[in-house]
Structure 1
Amino acid sequence: MQEANQTTVTEFILAGLSENPELQLPLFLIFLGVYLVTVVGNLGMIILILVSSQLHTPMYFLLSSLSFVDCCQSTVITPKMLVNFVTQKNVIPYPECIAQFYFFCAFAVAECHMLAAMAYDRYVAISNPLLYNVTMSFQVCLWMVAGVYGMGLLSATAHTVFLLRVIFCKAYVINHYFCDLFPLLELSCSSTFINEVLALCFSAFNIIVPVMIILSSYIFIIVSILHIQSTGGRSKAFSTCSSHILAVAIFFVSLAVMYLQPSSVSSPGQGKLSSVFYSIVVPMLNPMIYSLRNKDVKVALKRLLENISFFLTKNSFP
């Protein structure tokens, strides 16, 4: 009854990444550049895979799905973050804050399972290449991607439903640069026990299970690579997987630091720093890692540029 009579918060203020006035403009320029690279890189990867017939394979279908997730996740977080660098108070209404959290959670969880699906795809391709097209058929890929998005939507919906039951009346300044779960729960004046248990269970499942799938896949991949007789073949196989391992390591380590670390040993500054990696840095790195280290992508990009150049030249001289 006491909680019902209290005034609830209708809007929040995002504290941002840094309160130092001298850092606002440099940080704005840095993260604006990061966001532009992220959007151009991921949309470019999606378009390149869509228009290049040689990239119409399960591996690149999953990669285009990853690029879509990365682009959406960055768009959910970064524009509002950039506003915080050029305004004194970055106000976000309660409904918009909840919506931001919902979509961030959905895309973050989807990326966890998408990386696991891509690791399994590489395991099948390297360990059993003769049956690859059968094992990773178009129908199987569709079901995998549907499952990935399903897990993201399920987790986001569960968290958001219970977050809507929380009453915010202590304060309205979120000590973060976006509406994340734990910074929001710190402002609650009602019980958050269910939210914390739910967060621990879902975080453990959505982080540990994909990590175990990825580790298992790469153990089998390494064993299969070691059986390759050709030194060049082993080198090519390791090169194919190394970029994926790098992206996975950065993403899951930063995610675990934020969501699997006890609150007693974590700090707001550490939480913001780790959040920057999995919500902003990794979505920018993924298209660069997969394109710069991938021969097929380079060839497809070269052909596309040649076709565009030929088309423009042909239409310039009637």
Structure 2
Amino acid sequence: MAVQIAVIDDWQDVARDVVDWSVLDSIGQVTFLHGYPADRDTLAERLQRFEVICVMRERTVFDEGLLRCLPNLKLLLTGGMRNAALDLKAAADLGIQVCGTDSYKHAAPELTWALIMASTRHLVQEANALRAGAWQQGLGGDLHGKTLGVLGLGSIGTRVAQFGQVFGMRVIAWSQNLTAERAAEVGVTQVSKQALFEHADILSIHLVLSERTRGLVDAQALGWMKPDALLVNTARGPIVDEAALIDALQHKRLGAAALDVFAQEPLPADHPFRTLDNVLATPHVGYVSQQNYRQFYSLMIEDIQAWAAGKPIRLLMPAG
């Protein structure tokens, strides 16, 4: 009997065309689902019949409650080798194997720099004004000689730091685990957390969401920032205290924010980030690129083939 395979979180209806899924015809039937995350009962009904489910990173939450509602589920696949939306321990307890994929490493840094450039030069406002028949609405900002603060100097933060250096910026960095030696390896100056926020003309966040980083950018940290500074977040929404950020932006204590990630996604229709004139917001497209999706889905297919052959690969195991 054919294995029932679901590809969910396909919000843009692109998954079927990114790779050739027909190579799975000998294993099972692939169904593409485009619905946004819903309540547990709706999700359980939607996913009830599937033995294999392919998910996109941190869109639909598979907690213990949902997993227990899916008795047919045997294999859960995610883009990337880390997904905070999956309860790996519950999956293991229920005998559900979880596998991941490699990621394309350039998509998120490129989107980060696009947001920085667009915000600094007011590209959206100028382009919209031109379409409306106007011409040259204001003065754009500059990057050369300014200070770029990088919060988290991992692979993505390092690439963004290198972009800043190419543009002639002074680059400083801080995170809980960052050492002066690691910073020096990429020509970056390690500073304290307070100094990072105080000196940055542009502060870009590149941390993994964890209990230690949740709410790390709070009202106090935002209060340290220059009143004309730009805050950029392409990491995860909950790293920033969203209410504190909205307050700082509304009262012009912070110059602007460029955001690709939010506490709730999709962003509610009435959310202030949709209307604040000092916010450039994009709908979590940092990893939404042709190359990254091609890598995610082609490796999910590999995972399914390996699992069907009884030799699963890229297994994700619960901590401890």
* TM > 0.5 fold call: no
Scaled to the shorter chain, the TM-score interval is under 0.3
Which structure's residues are more often strand, by fraction? 2
TM-score (norm 2): 0.24
